[in-house]
Amino acid sequence: MPDSPKTIRRGDYAPPAFLIDTVDLDFALDPMATIVRSRLAFRRNPAAAADAPLRLDGEGLTLLEARLDGEALPESRRQLGADGSLTITDAPDAGILETSVRIAPERNTALSGLYTSGGNFYTQCEAEGFRRITFFPDRPDVMSRYSVTITADRARVPVLLSNGNPDGSGDAGEGRHWARWVDPHPKPSYLFALVAGDLVNVPDSFTTRSGRKVALNIWVRRGDETRCGHAMDSLIRSMKWDEEVFGLEYDLDVFNIAAVSDFNMGAMENKGLNVFNTKYVLASPETATDGDWQGIETVIAHEYFHNWTGNRVTCRDWFQLSLKEGLTVFRDQEFTADQGSRAVKRIRDVRGLRAAQFPEDAGPMAHPVRPDSYIEIDNFYTPTVYQKGAEVVRLLHTRIGPVAFRRGMDLYISRNDNQAVTIEDFVGAMQDASGTDLTPFMRWYDQAGTPELTVEDSYDPATRRYTLTLRQRTPPTPGQVEKQPLPIPVAMGLLDDTGAALPTRLAGENAAQPGTRVLLLDGAVQDFVFEDVPAPPVPSLLRGFSAPVRLKGVPQERLRFLAVHDSDPFVRWDSGQQYAAAFMLEQVARVQRGEAPGFAPALADAVANTLASADADPAFAAEALVLPGEGFLADQMEVADPEAIHQVRRHLRRQIGTHCGAALLATYQALTETGPYRIDGRSIGRRSLRNACLAYLAAAGEDGVALAAAQYRAATNMTDQLAALALLADAETPAREAGLAEFHAKWRGDDLVLDKWFSIQAMSSRPGTIAAVRALYAHPDFDLKNPNRARALIGAFASGNPLHFHDSSGEGYRFLADAVIALDPINGQTAARLIGPLGLWRRQWVERGALMRRELQRVLDTPNLSKGSFEKASKALQ
């Protein structure tokens, strides 16, 4: 047995022994043998133990030379560790260390460190990739000033980019050229970037509010220049928004974005040189859906906002990851909300949180927003750290209000600029700016699990008092059995029986408040007594989803009432969803008893009402029309039943499609686009409403399927084309094969569009899908090495097709494990990220659970498994 990889613990943090003030790097680029020369000005950290050695991380580097203060370092004074590190014994308290190493970017399939894609060079250093480029104390609390010189073949590698501002370029002889970049801001090594190759740029510029002109560039493969307009527009709007809303200005002369098609995640915020997955840059109406369009805006904003929350103020250690990620997601959510419909944005974000983070928090991978330990930090770029982290920031915002929050942000930035800090520093700034004791809030960062919030109420006509009793409980999570109550802000209001808002006055208050107010539940159970209530009210709770909790026990009649009458659009939407979910779960129970699922006329009424008023806000109507998803329903069950859930959902869709057929068709036709194709909030909303109608019509039968086939043929944009093809891919119709074949023929040269072709088939509910997925895995266009393609097939199947993934034969599980085992030696980071769905075995029937565990064990028994996949598979088995 090889040794188990080491667990890193938050409590073991110690400051770095040495600091590096400046880093001068020199790259001689070559695909198979790049030489990296580094010159580090180091000095002992006054805050650390005085006798610790100078230790530099390294991974897979071939050391060519090492010099200390100009002298060759004898082998007796340096040790290369089994982990790849370099340790210098008897290092002076300050000095210059020069190293020269060789690496092979072309062989780097892990896409971490320096690698090639399509013949061009790219880096990815977060979290621990810089050590794959040169020897360095690769941890975020070592912040240095960098200068970078790059030399390469001029013809093959005409563009040479790094962080910061350009600082000269020229001829290097023998067909080679050089460029130098200087970044004036100190930064941690994870923000280093280099991009070089045969790229073209789309230029623009932005003048900051203090009048500095910033050159903007998006760098792409030749031919992709025509698809960068939306990304550039999103960037410019983000820059302006951060000035207006947070007073934060960009701080370099240039801002470069490079797009690459082989990339482990969405994008990376390297200082002055963001690197993006092409998926989050390239868009045209013919190739990108409205969802892609929105994804680009979000990710561009997110990475740009990191310039202050992440880069200027960075993390002390990786346990603090949510310090930058939770806060930056909160900022990008606010940006998007300000660009269009705040209500619809909130609904989408909560839908996403419930689909991904709630199950994570209820499963074997549950961890606090600030984890206590990890084996591989790459495994902790999770929905909990990002999305729940953003919810916790939002909760602070709700608690102290927008004005104090903005003061707190100013204070956070001014206190911590150019430093590597902790979550306490963030909460401390909010506390000082608001004068509110926020110590109890720290529990949100340290306690895993989704709290359950239950409500009871009573009304006393004699005293006209209304008592609302709120109770909270957080279920145990791995390693955290006992849970403490959390401070939960509950935004709420009271409605009378006509749906009108009642002013609220709590016992002890002088005046009634007219609209939404925030109750703070900070114990396990608490009574809130309202005075002067004329009649029994209906409470509207958790408006705007004011805390990431599960609100339970609201009776169905109240949900129906709130879905129609509440003033808060989130509560209206959510009440409709909760109503439908409760009804659907009852039908699942019927199916499990061998009975046929029933139909609720109330659901058809709700659909009819939504359609009747859809014109006011089509995007909201589209959200309201969609039934709760299969994953959301499964997450509400002790033991999931993917087949019964699928059957019930399909049955209800057919019923609604039939009952409301005329109204659905009328709305569908009324929304048919006549004018030119437009991408703005309203047009996007109209398309999503129209496609929601089409989905119901296709569920109802042949006429609807024929309509989908017609839409597929007529579509001139990817949104409508793909929506129709997805419906066909689920149906039994000759139009299915024809459509898929035609789509493939048309788009086989476009990797991002072809990814959609793989995903649609992977998510089909038709019988035989597992075999089809196996066949697609063997398709000549499938490429396991490309993370987008791997996720488009394997990830879409395992996460987006519960019906077939959980096939009782275990074939779905076997396919996933086979794919993970094949991918792990190529790209361990991407392989580990695919394992998640196998971890939910406790929520499946025993027989299925056993099959899932068997596949996890098979992954775990694989020789030379990456430590990331080891951590995921072993934790999943616990």
Question: How far apart are the C-alpha atoms of 35 and 279, rounded to whole Å?
Answer: 31
Choose from Zn ion, ligand TRP, none: what does 404 bind? Cβ within 5-8 Å by kind.
Answer: none
- SS3 at position 478: coil
Q: Which residue has the tokens 């990220």?
A: 833
Binding of ligand TRP by 320 (CB under 6 A) = no
> Binding mask 296-315 vs ligand TRP (x if CB under 6 A, - otherwise)?
------xx------------
State the Cα angle at 381 between 375 and 383, rounded to 5°: 125
Name the residue nearer to ligand TRP (CB basis): 292 or 332. 332
User: Binder to ligand TRP among 138, 269, 317, 635 (CB under 6 A)?
Assistant: 269
Q: Is 759 in the site for ligand TRP (CB under 6 A)?
A: no
The one of Zn ion, ligand TRP, none whose footprint includes residue 267, by CB under 5 to 8 A per kind, is ligand TRP
Distance CA 213, CA 250 (A): 10
User: What is the rounded distance in angstroms from the CA atom of residue 554 to the CA atom of residue 575?
Assistant: 9
Please give the DSSP secondary-structure letter assigned to residue 841: G
From ligand TRP, Zn ion, none, which one binds at residue 31 (CB under 5 to 8 Å depending on kind)? none
Give which of 673, 723, 668 is closest to 693, Cα–Cα: 668
244 contact partners, CB below 8 Å, separation of at least 6 = none
**How many C-beta neighbours within 10 Å does residue 692 have?**
25
- Residue 273 binds ligand TRP, judged by CB under 6 A: no
Strand pairing report for 143-153 and 18-28: parallel
Distance CA 90, CA 748 (A): 59
What is the footprint of ligand TRP within residues 141-180 (CB under 6 A)?
none
Quick note: the x/- pattern for Zn ion over 430-469, rule CB under 5 A, is ----------------------------------------
Quote the least distance from Cβ 242 to ligand TRP, whole Å: 16
Smaller CB distance to ligand TRP: residue 280 or 813? 280
Among 28-36, 99-107, 262-270, 563-571, the segment contacting ligand TRP (CB under 6 A)? 262-270
> Contact region for ligand TRP (CB under 6 A) — 260-268, 494-502, 536-544, 650-658?
260-268
Rounded to an integer, what distance in angstroms lies between the CA atom of residue 839 and that of residue 876?
4
Least distance (Å) between residue 237 CB and ligand TRP: 18
Taking CB positions, which residue lies at the least distance from ligand TRP?
Answer: 265
Smallest distance from the beta carbon of 304 to ligand TRP, in angstroms?
10
Residues 27, 123: Cα–Cα separation, whole Å: 12
| Active centre residues (catalytic) | 303
* Cβ 616 to Zn ion shortest distance, Å: 35
267 binds ligand TRP (CB under 6 A): yes
**What is the rounded distance in angstroms from the CA atom of residue 598 to the CA atom of residue 606?**
16
Contact yes or no for 679/233 (Cβ under 8 A): no
Q: Residue 646 and residue 702: Cα distance in Å, rounded?
A: 20
Which residue lies nearer to Zn ion by CB, 250 or 758? 250
Residue nearer to ligand TRP on the CB measure, 122 or 405: 122
Q: Which of 138, 290, 325, 334 binds ligand TRP (CB under 6 A)?
A: 325
CA–CA dist 414, 429 (Å, integer)? 10
**Shorter beta-carbon distance to Zn ion: residue 328 or 333:** 328
Question: Rg for the chain (alpha carbons), in Å?
Answer: 28
Considering only residues 109 to 138 of the shown chain, the ones binding ligand TRP according to CB under 6 A are 124, 126-127
Dig out the tokens for 546 from the structure.
């004011």
Question: What is the distance, to the nearest Å, from the Cα of residue 286 to the centroid of all Cα atoms in its chain?
Answer: 25
Check residue 739 and give left, alpha or beta (phi > 0: left; psi -120 to 50: alpha): alpha
Site for ligand TRP in 355-394 (CB under 6 A): 381
Q: Which is nearer to Zn ion, 322 or 328 (CB)?
A: 328
Considering only residues 169 through 228, tell me which ones interact with Zn ion, judged by CB under 5 A. none
- Does residue 116 contact residue 157 with C-beta atoms inside 8 Å? no
The SS3 assignment for 419 reads strand
Q: Which is nearer to ligand TRP, 311 or 416 (CB)?
A: 311
Nearer to ligand TRP, 269 or 730 (CB): 269
Question: How many CB atoms neighbour CB 649 within 10 A?
Answer: 23
Q: How far is the CB of 839 from ligand TRP (least distance, A)?
A: 21
* Site pattern 448..467 for ligand TRP (x: CB under 6 A): --------------------
Q: Which does 340 bind (CB under 5 to 8 A by kind): ligand TRP, Zn ion, none?
A: none
Size of residue set near Zn ion by CB under 5 A: 2
Interface with ligand TRP by CB under 6 A: which range of 142-150, 266-274, 533-541, 867-875?
266-274
The string of DSSP codes covering 550-573 is EEE---HHHHHHHHHH-S-HHHHH
If one asks whether residue 265 binds ligand TRP (CB under 6 A), the answer comes out as yes
Q: Which two tokens stand for residue 16?
A: 């770095």
CB of 41 to ligand TRP, least distance (A): 27
CB of 763 to ligand TRP, least distance (A): 24
- Give the whole-angstrom CA distance, residue 453 versus residue 442: 19
Judged by beta carbon, residue 34 or residue 234, the one nearer Zn ion is 234
Which residue number, 266 or 681, has a Cβ lying nearer to ligand TRP?
A: 266
The entry of Zn ion, ligand TRP, none that residue 5 binds, CB within 5 to 8 Å by partner kind: none
**Residue among 245, 241, 243, 270 at smallest CA distance from 258:** 270
Q: Which does 786 bind (CB under 5 to 8 A by kind): Zn ion, ligand TRP, none?
A: none
State how far the Cα of 30 lies from the Cα of 47, in Å rounded to an integer. 40
Q: Which does 268 bind (CB under 5 to 8 A by kind): ligand TRP, Zn ion, none?
A: ligand TRP
Closest to Zn ion by CB, 98 vs 325, is 325
Q: Is the dihedral of CA 597, 602, 606, 608 positive or negative?
A: positive
Smallest gap from Cβ 378 to ligand TRP, in A, equals 7
Whether residue 326 contacts residue 385, with contact meaning beta carbons closer than 8 Å, is answered with yes
The answer to whether residue 264 forms part of the interface with ligand TRP (CB under 6 A) is yes
Q: In 3-state terms, what secondary structure has residue 1?
A: coil
182 forms beta bridges with 147, 165
- CB-CB contact of 29 with 8 (8 Å): no
> Taking CB under 5 A as the rule, which mask of x and - marks residues 295-334 in contact with Zn ion?
------------------------------x--x------
* 548: CB partners within 8 A, 6+ apart: 353, 357, 388, 391, 392, 395, 450
Q: Which residues bind ligand TRP (CB under 6 A)?
A: 124, 126-127, 264-269, 302-303, 325, 381
Q: Which residues bind Zn ion (CB under 5 A)?
A: 325, 328
